Amino acid sequence: MLCSSVDARTPLRQWLLRRAQTTEGGHASVRMASIPNAASDRVLGRWLVGCSGLVLGAVVLGGVTRLTESGLSMVDWHLVKEMKPPRTEAEWEDEFSKYKQFPEFKIMNHDMTLREFKFIFYMEWGHRMWGRLVGLAYILPTVYFWKRGYFSRSMKPRVLGLCGFVVFQGLLGWYMVKSGLEEKTESYDIPRVSQYRLAAHLGSALLLYCSSLWMGLTLMLPANKIPDSRNLLQLRRFAKVTGGLVFLTALSGAFVAGLDAGLVYNSFPKMGERWIPDDLLAFSPAIKNVFENPTTVQFDHRILGIGSLTAITGLYLFSRRVHLPRRAKIAIGCLTAMAYTQVVLGISTLLLYVPTSLAATHQSGSVALLTFAIWVLAELRKVVK
């Protein structure tokens, strides 16, 4: 009897399945994808890692734009209109005449030719178009994956947060540029954007990069199954502190760039003839020196860089006492090698009076170092009991 009832139910169950597929048509395949699984996680992971790569490109291109002093060449902002650059000679002359009305041309570039203007314009235009590409890379796939049901309930707000952060980043970029276009009647210094806004713009880009890379790696990487231990827990904490220090060092580089602080003391390890320069606390109140005194900003960046190198070296040595899977060891080794490379790049940039190519490599190196730090954290997070 039991067997016959099971047999009777089997055709009925098949009929119901066929009925559901007939009535819902193409929606059946959508519902089959609505439950996130390992395959969909890998797809999402690759997408987020790809997005983080685009953000990396934006950071590098933004650094080059800053180093070539191209960031103030476009004096207005339009979401769609500016996607088409000037084509005719009349359009270029019109764009150049706009630029001539602002402080950078009047004080610094008053003898600039139209050909030279085209170079800095295309640098800034490329940076802005890359930013729009980043926005599309986040928003369009988000809509697709959302409709296909790829996102779990916990992941939906995080992905929406990333998309919102991309929009915020674009608005913050224009807010930063505006600070360099303002007339400062009390000062005839070289026009530059606010170092505070520059740091906010870079910091938000790095946060977007780290968040996307972290989410992507944790979705893509298989779990490392090794037993927990006290040393492992300590290594995780050590890695988190080290990652935070690397991020803070990269962020301090924005103040160095914003104040051209790399040009004030071009010697190492001493600053001029002293370990601690006389003008370290020249501004009043004292806290103002941390963000506005080029000497203090360079000094702080040196200390943070040396501190990051020391912490990463300590992390490497401590990791040798912990039984880790091969991938985690590779990540820590890459982080350590990049840390020493980055310090060499930084010292070389300083001693050679900040050549554009070397400075751009050093700025890119800071993001590479941050990348390896995130990878290490992802590997250690995947170590489960």
Q: Is 155 exposed, middle or buried, given 0-12, 13-18 or 19+ CB atoms closer than 10 A?
A: middle
Backbone angles phi, psi at 85, to 5 degrees: -75, 165
Q: Where are the alpha helices (DSSP H) in 222-355?
A: 230-258, 287-292, 294-319, 326-351
Q: State which amino acid sits at residue 335.
A: L
- pLDDT of the residue at 15: 46
Q: Could you give the CA distance from residue 147 to residue 164 in angstroms, rounded to a whole number?
A: 18
Tens digits of per-residue pLDDT, 78-102? 888 888 999 999 999 999 999 999 9
Closest CA to 325 of 372, 243, 384, 238: 384
Backbone angles phi, psi at 190, to 5 degrees: -60, 125
- pLDDT of the residue at 3: 46
Tens digits of per-residue pLDDT, 305-327? 999 999 999 999 999 999 899 99
Query: Where are the strands (E) in the chain, listed by range?
Result: 224-225, 383-384
Percent of the chain whose predicted confidence (pLDDT) is above 90 = 76
Q: Could you give the CA distance from residue 364 to residue 56 in angstroms, rounded to a whole number?
A: 8
DSSP 383: E
Backbone angles phi, psi at 195, to 5 degrees: -65, -25
